[in-house]
Structures are given as structure tokens and as C-alpha cells.
Amino acid sequence: MSDTREPATWHGTTIMMVRKGGKVVIAGDGQVSLGQTVIKSTARKVRPLAKGEVIAGFAGATADAFTLFERLEAKLEQYPGQLMRACVEMAKDWRTDRYLRRLEAMMLVADKNVSLVLTGTGDVLEPEGGIMGIGSGGNYALAAGRALAETDFDAETIARKAMAVAADICVYTNSSVTVETLDTAE
């Protein structure tokens, strides 16, 4: 009798971005799961790039995400102050490079002017209404964030509350949240 179970895989996360009231915030939970086991609860999936002028968060395989952070950092050095161009160039590489095509991750990135979602299929998208969620709990965070955007809460409060909703619903998301914030051009 053979074992037909799928091998354990690294699972999900939740990354949330909110642009409101002169701030842009990216928040991410800290849980790393392998199959049904929590391997780490305090991973840092959100970080500043380009000497603090850009913030980014990733959802997906950890090693893949570190590769993408390094690639994005290199593109930001090549195109300083041009987040959109750096992201488009990275997306081209991600989609066409044989090694990069295999990476399983998504990213949220922002600077003072623009917020973007990057995917391995070459997508570089501006989120509607300045709010986006990615990862296994991304849709829960996105829904909560959109509902909270109509309140008087600031960007960080919205992101934290939306992340709490995702952590309550998604088993691959926890409440150990890292937040990075930038002032915007508003």
C-alpha cells in the first residue's frame, strides 16, 4: 500500500496595505507553517527597502521572498525614486527568467506616491481605493480594511484591525503583526 498523501508544504500568511490620511502602511503577520504545524510565530515578512523610501511585504515561500526582496532592491538601486519602473522591470524578469518563474510569492510594495501588488505572472497593479490584502488571509483582511476605510480610523489602525480579523479566521495567520509606515505625498 503506497502513501498518497501530499508532502507537507509551507503555507500562507497575510499581508495588508492601507493608504489613507497622509500615510501608507504595510502590515504582515509572523506565522510560518509547514503543513499543519506552526514552525515560527514571529517571522518578519514586512521590511523597508531603498534606504527606507520603500516598504514591502511578501506572502509565499520564505526563500522565494528573500530572492524577490533582493531583486527588487537591485531594481530600486538601478531606478532610484522610480518605484513603478523598478517594479515593472522586476516583473518582466520574474515572468521571463527561468529560475524566477518558479518562485511562489506575491508582494505588496509602496513609496510615498504609489502602492503596488506584484505577482509572478507579471502583474504590477495599483490596488483600488489604496487597500490590498494578499496571502491566505488576504481576502479577509481586504474585506475588513475596505469596511474600516469608511471610518475615522487612521491607516495603521485600519491595518491592525483588519489583520486581527484575518488572524481570527485564517489558520495560517497569527496576531504577531509587523507594521511599516511611510508618509505619503498627499
Range of the domain at 29: 10-170
2 part of a folded domain: no
pLDDT in tens, the chain (186 residues): 444 554 444 457 899 999 999 999 999 999 988 888 888 999 999 999 999 999 999 988 777 778 888 989 999 999 999 999 999 998 888 777 666 666 667 899 999 999 999 987 778 999 999 999 999 999 999 999 999 999 999 999 999 999 999 999 999 999 999 999 999 976
> How far is Cα 71 from Cα 10, in angstroms, rounded to an integer?
22
The grid cell for 13 is 500568511
| pLDDT for residue 122 | 79
Flag whether 1 is in a domain.
no
Domain count, the chain: 1
Q: Is 11 helix (H, G, I), strand (E, B) or coil?
A: strand
65 in any annotated domain: yes
Number of C-beta neighbours around residue 148 at 10 A: 20
Please state the pTM of the whole predicted model.
Answer: 0.90
Q: Does the annotation place 87 within a ligand binding site?
A: no
Rounded (10°) CA dihedral 90, 96, 98, 101: 70
Helix axes 62-78, 83-96, angle to 10 degrees: 130
119 belongs to a structural domain? yes
Q: How confident is the model at residue 137, as a pLDDT?
A: 94
The reply to whether 180 falls in a domain is no
What pLDDT is attached to residue 67? 80
123 domain residue, yes or no: yes
Secondary structure (3-state) at 71 = helix
Q: How far is CA 165 from the centre of its chain?
A: 17
Quote the pLDDT of residue 99: 61
Give domain status of residue 44, yes or no.
yes
CATH code of the domain containing 77: 3.60.20.10
Residue 157 annotated as lining a ligand binding site? no
For 91-146, the DSSP string reads HHHHHH-TTGGG--EEEEEE-SS-EEEEETTS-EEPPGGGEEEEETTHHHHHHHHH
| Residues recognised as catalytic | 13
- Specify the pLDDT at position 102: 65
Torsion angle, CA of 145/147/150/155, rounded to 10 degrees? -10
* 181 within some domain: no
